[in-house]
Structure formats: C-alpha cells, structure tokens
Chain A
Amino acid sequence: MLSRINDFAIKLANVNGSGSASANGLIMQAIFRMGVPVSGKNLFPSNIQGLPTWYEIRVNKDGYTARALDYDLMVAMNAQTYARDVKEVRSGGYLLYDSSWPLEKDLVRDDVNYIGVPLAHMCNENFHESRERVLMKNIATAGVLIELLNIDRDVVAQLIEQKYGRKKGLHESNRKALRLGADHVRANFPCPLPFHLQTMNANGDKILIDGNTAVALGCVYAGATVAAWYPITPSTSAMDAFKMFCERFRKDKTAGEQNYLILQAEDELAAIGMVIGASWNGARAFTSTAGPGISLMNELLGFAYFAEIPAVIIDVQRVGPSTGMPTRTQQGDILECAYASHGDTKHILLFPANPAECFDLAVKSFDLAEQFQTPVFLLTDLDIGMNDWVTPKLEWDDSYHPNRGRVLSAEDLEAIPRFYRFMPENGSAVAPRTLPGVSAKGSYFTRGSGHNKYGGYTEIPDEYREVMDRLLRKHKEAAGFVPGPIVEKRKGARVGIITVGGCDAAVREAVDILAEQGTPMDYMRIRAFPFDHPVEAFIAAHEYCYVVEQNRDGQLRSLLILETSAPKEKLRSILVYGGFPLSAKHVLNAIAPEMKTVKTVETEELDAIHR
C-alpha cells in the first residue's frame, strides 16, 4: 500500500455504554486540532447499554468529510458485530482487535492485516477497579491509534490536560492508559500505518460543534425568552444547550434573575401550545422536537397558521414512521412539516446543511415567523444535530436588530380610527397585529374558527375565502425573504443535482468526482420552502435533475412537483433512507447505470434507491 497522508477512514465498533464515546471524541478532536479536515459520525443504537455502536472518522486533506463507506482501519471491539465489521475493511486494510482472546478463525480474511493488542489484559493488570478497567480500555485503544495514525502526542496531552487537569486521579489514569496502548503497539508493529496524519493548516479558525448546540446559540442570539419542549431524541441536546447558554448569558449576576423561561411540557401538544401562547403575547418562543412531536403538534400548528401567530419549531429529524429508529438520521418530515395540520395549510421551512447554517437560520426563523406571523420550521436532522462538525466560525453582527414584523404600539393605535386584526397594509399580505395588554383599542379575539378580515367570527363563504386567499399570498410573499438556494454551475453540464440539508457534503463530493470522470453536473441545494424563483429556473435550465434526499418517498421531489411548474419527468429521485448519513458513493452508484462514464464503487452498505 502506498503511503497516504491525511486521506483515510477508520471505523470503531464498540458496545454501547462502555465509555467509548469520550475516547472517540478525543481522537476526533485531536485530528481537528492538527488542522486536518475531519468528520466523526456516531452511529448509535436506541439503547442505554449493551447494543452495538459505531463511530466513523474520515480524514480528508481536500475537505471531503461525508461518510466514506469503506474503511482503511477497523477497530473491532465488539464481538457481537465482528463478522459484519470485518467485511467492511477495504482490501489491504487493517483490523485492530483485542488479543487478550484469540482471534476467531472464520473471521480472518487474507486480504486484511491484523493488529492484536491485549487491551483487556493490560488494563486488568494496571487498573484495579472494574469500571475503571472498562473505561481505560477505550483510552488505551486511543493510545494505540495515536501511534498507528501518527496523531500529535502534544495535542493529545493538551486535550487530556484540559479535560481532566482538575481531577488528579482521572488525569493520571488516562495518561497511563494512553501510554500502555502506545508502548505496546510501538514495540510490536511498524508505526505509523501507511495511511496516517500529518499536521496541516486546513482548519483555520473553524470550530468543532454539533448542530443542536449551534441551533441553541442561534435561539439565544435571536432573543428567544420562552422555550417549551418535551424530551425526544435527537432534539434533546438542543434544549440542554439552550439552557446551558441561558444560564451563562441570561442570568443577571447580581439579582440572580433569569431572563428566560424554559418549560418542560407534559407533551408536545402542550409544548407548541406554550410557544403559541408566548408568541401571542409578543415573546420570541420556540420548541425543539422530532417527527413524533410534530405529529402531535399538528392541531395547534394549524391554529397558529390560521390565527396568524408566530412560532419557531426546530425539528431534528430522525427515522420514521412511528417510533421508527430514534437514533438514526433521515429527512422524512419534509412533507409533514410543509403542510402540517388539517385543512389548507402551508408553512415556511428552512433547511440548514451544517451547524454554521443551523446558527444563522435559527435566527432567521424568528425573523420570518414574526414578519409573516406564522409557524416556521427549522428542519435539521440527527446527523447535523448530534454529530460534531468542522464548521466555519459562527459570525455575529452586532448591528442585527430582530425583525418583529408589524406590531402596532399604543401610539400607532391612537393614530388610526379603528383596529381590525386581519386587514393587510401597504400591498403586503401581512396584517399588522397587536399585543395583549397594550391598549384596549388593539384588542381582538384570536380564534381558530372562521373569521373575516375584521377578526369577527364568520361562516360566510366570501369572507372566509378572502382570509384564506390572503394566507396563500402571504406564503408566496415569504419566498422573497427566505434564504435562496446555493447553486454551483459547471461548464458543459446538462444535468442538475438537487439536494437538501445534510446531504450537502456527500453530494458535493459526488459532483466533483462526476466532473473528474467527465460528467459535469450543476448543483443546487435548496435552503427553504416556499421555493423562490431560482429554484424553478434551475430545473427549467436542465435536461433533467436528480433529487438526492434521505427518505423513501422522495418528499423534496414531491414538494418541487407540487409547488413549482417543473414537470415530474424531469426530476429523478436518488434516495438513501436506511438511517445512516449519506456518502458520495451512494450517489455515484445510483447515477452509474444511467451514465456510461460514471464508475460504480463497491460498498457493504445498501445502495441508494433510484426512481
């Protein structure tokens, strides 16, 4: 094998609950600090202890960090999945196993190199407490990897110091375990492996952050004061982070007052109710949830749409339907959110692709919700929300001022003869609103029942229709204010690839490979619904377009067909919905049969569905 610097993938197979997460995180963070582009994907089970869990690390000097699907090194620490894990190693690759026990014969492949380190044995000899032995086995494994992959020892020492510096016992144990692993592998195997790391400077001032943390920061910076939620994977850590940041930034140090109120609701019906109640009163309020929560929220989402109350809903999508696979990723809530609730409803959706966009678009969600007095969905997913991403540094402009939409003050109300709630002004489809408690003149009766433009109850067809038609115009008007698509054109491209959200990295990589193989394609990543003009123009400008997304039914494609003039025949689905994040290889393999020039790639994972 030729030596490869800063371009490889490894996979660590572990047992859930055995403490592998912190060791995996340590390696990922150390690589990031070495200035090398890296990604870490946690493929974990819906379980507290015992089921298999994997962690994939891909290192790529050119910045391609979507999933690789074939692995140069497998760290096989879980006997339950050993057979499957062995298969995933690329031919000529390596497998690290715990040689405290003999390697099972039928698991041996002659095209794979084996590295046995007696990890359990070493830890049993060197640590006395049983829990410590288990935990330190993970750290000893990290020690082995430091040598095999040439991870900067100073960087690791620094990280250990930062993490455990204040806990003397733990600090010492960690250092000892690292040493045990490193010393053993150095003495017994040629280190480093042909593929390994070298410090570079590709990360600049980038940060390592997960999408849920970034969303939470966005909510803090947007000025949200009321948050209501019901715990659900994979959104829980967003509210945890919001709480943490609020405690840090929103607590009056002297008075001890908290300039926020977080309500753990009794269910998601209540959570969205609380958000709507708070928004009605003029607060910036949000909830974070996942698909099952959106299902429950449907009733009041329709209310907020019809009664024109702002609300921000963060949906960290996971695999459905029903409970589905709660710890796996999908983009399966697009249609549900676009048309949530009974009757004619249409909502604003934003689709961030990475944590940096999570931050920006979280702020944008509040602006749009208040400007258009309507629910706004921020659709992220488990992959974006819970995995650490190397992402551009978050930027904040201190001149930002929240767009509160048209809200009439007591003085505004004084200046007009009479206030009617649903009378639009200045050619916009949005009608100014008033807040409770401000002025008797601004009072009105908020209702989910039929109402006319004055805000009065109605069952008269024309009056009802007038309001409904304005709501439709309002949704269309929003197209001019939502973030537009990201488009990248290539010379000679006749075909386009459209995608959304967290598919971004994998699809971009595929598009680059396609271009190298002589099949240039144009790229468009949709960032919001309603679709603005460039979306339609992109489709019109191509012979046909692939639509790459992570769900079974091609929900983005359906939405494009329903909401643009694009003919159905022009949109071809590439669908990956098994629950693991997308890889460029999925995309290439789906395109290959239709394009002679495109080469397929062998993978152990199921291919994409192509319709």
Chain B
Amino acid sequence: MPSIVKPPVAHPSLTRNELGLTIRDYEGAMSTLCAGCGHDSITAAIVRALWEMSTPPHRVAKLSGIGCSSKTPAYFVSAAHGFNSAHGRMPPIATGANAANRELTYVGVSGDGDSLSIGLGHLCHAMRRNVNMLYIIENNGVYGLTKGQFSASSDVGSKSKKGEANVMSPIDPVLLGLSLGATFVARSFSGDKGQLVPILMAGLAHRGFAMVDVISPCVTFNDHEGSTKSYLYTRQHLLHATETDFVPDAREIVAEIAPTGGTNITMHDGSVLRFTRLPEDYDVTDRQKAFSYLKQHPHEVVTGIFFADESVPEMHETNHTPATALVDLPYAKLCPGAAQLQQLQNEFR
C-alpha cells in the first residue's frame, strides 16, 4: 500500500471546478515532511492552482529530483503519474517525457540543492530548450534532507544551525533564468498563498519553461536567527514587484480586467494574465528592466513575475513535431517498411 493515505472524506460544501472536481480530487498522500515545512504550503498551492485551472488530474505528470522538496509530488494529485527521479536529474527526465508526449501538463518540483548545485547544468539547458513545463524550486537555502548543509542559494553571512557562516555568494535562480533567456521567471513565498497560487497558474498556462523560485523556509534547519531564509527574515524583507491575479480563459470575459496602468499578456492557450500595481517603470516583457529592478532592490526579496514571453517557440515547435503526442503515432507511420529498405540498400552497393 502507498505509505500514508488520507481518509477519503469529501466535505459536502467543497466547490467544484469546470470538470466537476473538488479540490480533494487534486490532493495526494499525507505529507511526511516536518510540521510547518514551507514545502507543504507550496504543495497546497499547487493543488489549488491545478484545481483552479481545471486540469484533468490524470493528465498531469509530476516529476522531481531528490530532497525534502522533491518528495512532495507524492503529496499532490494522486491521480497523476509521478516520477521521483535522481538528485538533480529531473530536468532531463521531464524533457524526455515531454518529448514523447507533449499533451500532458508537466509539473516539476525541485529544491535549491537539486536545481542550483547538482542539477544546475540540467536546469540551464531545460530553460534553453524551453521545455513546456512548470518548474518549481522550493528554495530554503539549505540541504534539508541531508540535514542542514549550505546550498548554493545560501546568502553570504547566513549561518548554519551549527553556527558556521556561509562565505560564498549565492546563485539566484531568477537572475540565472533572466540571463539564460528563460521565457517565464517568477519568485514567490510559500507563506503568501494569495500571490503564489496565481503565479503558479500563470506558470502552468505559459507556453514554454516557467521557472518559479519559491522561498520556502525549512523549519528544522533554516529557521533560526542568522538564517536569511527564515520565516521571520522573509516576512520582514518581502516586497511585491507585481501584484498578480490570473484569470483563466473561460471566466476571463467578466469585466474584472484591470482598468489601466498594467501590462496584459495573452497566454498561449488564450487566457490572459493581468498585472496590477506595476511600478511605473516596470515592464514584464522587458528582460533588461527586470535586471535593473533587481539591481535597484538588492536587499529585498522581490516577488512577482519578473519576465514572461509567450512568443518564443517551445521545444516541440523548434523541432517541428506533430501537434499531437509522438507516443500516439501508429507504428505504421514510423516504420518505412521492407520495400523502402530494399531500395535504400542500392545506395550501399
């Protein structure tokens, strides 16, 4: 039997999405993470986002690497196939899976160790390929599962639980994504669901690689004074770059669209992403501005969608594959047959 299963009691008052499913239909097994772990809040936000998007649960493919964060795909959407891969290797596995079947909704979950150390190269190349997927880094600035070593996102001066200070400068996945040409770059905070859920939805709707760095405090190894990824530190330094409210396609006609002053981006699937309260000089379609905005706010955790570009072809488009999944091609279409082989061999004489 699967490790720990939740009692399947559905609350009668739970609302249903377009598919007639309740949020319960998007849940997974009971979490085995530490109570209060930021990763669990992200799991809840993923559940919410997929439910809001009315994504058929069995059409989701959830993948991860290794780490506390990477365990979480077991905790959402039990109806979906999951792939808890090897440390840092989720991007290539997701790339291959997506190559074979472009029709599923890919959700990748990773940690800062998984993505910024052992799997850094893979992350960079998945961005370059613009694999169509939502890629979440559950960033706690620490190796949780191996008990508290510094990760590549630990800030300089940040102290480990043992009291050691980190001396190396961090890798910021947002800056990395911006500089590598990633087509969707965002950051959020696991404790701010109101912001996180719409960002995840925007990422899901994005055509291409949507990287969301989610600051996710580790209560066990990174929530003491001296840590720069603790709840306390993050709450005090949090600053919203953009106020995001994602309205899915079908409900979008409602006259809730922002009046003026925002930038609207039409997503590939036709849905519209609405930005409100953007700073005067901030343009979500301008990569350079994102850099300078981050430069101008060096001491804050800036959250929001920094950059989004729907015009860049994703992996399948650059490879001119059919609109439907490669796995669905009948064998007869793939095998040239005996007559062709016969003819071809004239060239080998």
Which residues of A are interface residues toward B (Cβ below 8 A)? 32-33, 207-209, 217, 220-221, 223-226, 228, 249-250, 252, 255-263, 265-267, 269-271, 273-283, 285, 299-300, 303, 393-398, 400-402, 434-440, 442-449, 454-457
Contacts and interface: CB of A to CB of B under 8 A. Distances in A.
Nearest to A404: B331
B101 A281 contact: yes
B2 A283 contact: no
A197 B274 CA distance: 80
Interface stretch (B41-49, B253-261, B321-329): B321-329
Contacts, number: 216
Contacts of B99: 226, 261, 263, 274, 277-278, 283
Contacts of B313: none
A393 B343 CA distance: 11
B58 A443 contact: yes
B73 A277 contact: no
B320 A258 contact: yes
Contacts of B1: 454, 456
B33 interface: no
B58 A277 contact: no
Given A443-B78, A446-B83, A300 B89 contact: yes
Contacts of A223: 331, 334-335
Contact of B81 (A220, A270, A275, A446): A446
A273 B96 contact: yes
A261 B316 contact: yes
Contacts of A221: 335-336, 341
B292 interface: no
Contacts of B337: 396, 398
Contacts of A228: 92, 96
Contacts of A220: 334-336
A440 B61 CA distance: 11
B104 A437 contact: yes
A394 B345 contact: yes
Nearest to B323: A257
B34 interface: no
Contacts of A445: 2, 73-74, 81-84
B100 interface: yes
A276 B96 contact: yes
A35 to B, nearest CB: 11
B96 A274 contact: yes
A435 B103 CA distance: 13
Contact of B84 (A269, A396, A439, A447): A447
Interface in B291-324: 315-316, 319-322
Given A261-B316, A274-B95, A281-B97, A443 B81 contact: yes
B333 interface: yes
Interface of B: 1-3, 57-59, 61, 63, 73-74, 78-86, 89, 91-101, 103-104, 121-122, 124-125, 129, 315-316, 319-322, 326-327, 329, 331, 333-338, 340-341, 344-345, 348-349
A421 B344 CA distance: 43
A300 B331 contact: no
Contacts of B333: 259
Contacts of A398: 337-338
A273 B93 contact: yes
B96 A278 contact: yes
A441 to B, nearest CB: 8
Contacts of B336: 220-221, 249
A210 to B, nearest CB: 10
B101 A437 contact: yes
Given A207-B345, A221-B341, A443-B81, A275 B96 contact: yes
Contacts of A33: 349
Contacts of B78: 443
B92 A209 contact: no
Contacts of A226: 96, 99-100, 326
Contacts of B3: 456-457
B265 to A, nearest CB: 28
A408 to B, nearest CB: 13
17 contacts: A221-B335, A225-B334, A250-B334, A255-B322, A257-B321, A259-B326, A277-B93, A277-B96, A299-B86, A300-B85, A300-B86, A394-B341, A398-B338, A437-B59, A440-B57, A443-B82, A445-B83
Contacts of A281: 61, 96-97, 100-101, 104, 327
A228 B122 CA distance: 14
A279 B142 CA distance: 33
Contacts of A252: 322
A257 B327 contact: no
Nearest to A363: B335
Contacts of B84: 445-449
Contacts of A278: 96-97, 99-100
Contacts of A250: 334
Nearest to A302: B86
Which 8 A-B residue pairs are closest in the complex by CB-CB distance? Answer: A277-B96, A273-B92, A274-B96, A283-B100, A440-B79, A436-B81, A270-B92, A277-B97
A226 B101 CA distance: 10
Contacts of B129: 263
Given A257-B322, A398-B338, A266 B100 contact: no
Given A257-B321, A437-B103, A456-B2, A401 B345 contact: no
Contacts of A257: 320-322
B96 A259 contact: no
Contact of A207 (B74, B92, B125, B348): B348
A224 B335 CA distance: 9
Nearest to B128: A266
Give the residue among A226, A275, A397 with the most B Cβ atoms within 10 A.
Answer: A226
A283 B335 CA distance: 14
Most buried by A among B124, B335, B338: B335
Question: Which of A208, A228, A445 is most buried by chain B, counting CB atoms within 10 A of its CB?
Answer: A445
Contacts of A276: 93, 96
B96 A436 contact: no
B345 A393 contact: yes
Nearest to A410: B58
- Find the residue from B79, B93, B321 having the highest chain A CB count within 10 A: B93
Contacts of B74: 445, 457
B122 A270 contact: yes
A274 B340 contact: no
Given A260-B326, A273-B91, A447-B84, 18 more contacts: A32-B349, A207-B349, A220-B334, A226-B100, A250-B334, A261-B316, A266-B121, A274-B95, A281-B101, A282-B101, A285-B96, A395-B341, A398-B338, A437-B101, A445-B81, A448-B86, A449-B84, A454-B2
A299 B89 contact: yes
Residue among A270, A278, A281 with the highest chain B CB neighbour number at 10 A: A281
Contacts of B345: 207, 393-394
A362 to B, nearest CB: 13
Contacts of A282: 100-101, 327
Contacts of B94: 277
A255 B1 CA distance: 47
Nearest to A449: B84
Contact of A280 (B57, B86, B92, B97): B97
Contacts of B335: 220-221, 223, 400
A225 B96 contact: no
A516 to B, nearest CB: 33
Nearest to B73: A445
B83 A280 contact: yes
A193 B221 CA distance: 83
Nearest to A208: B348
A401 B74 CA distance: 36
Nearest to A269: B89
A402 B327 CA distance: 13
A32 B349 CA distance: 8
Given A249-B336, A440-B79, A445-B73, A225 B58 contact: no
A208 B349 contact: yes
B89 to A, nearest CB: 5
B2 A397 contact: no
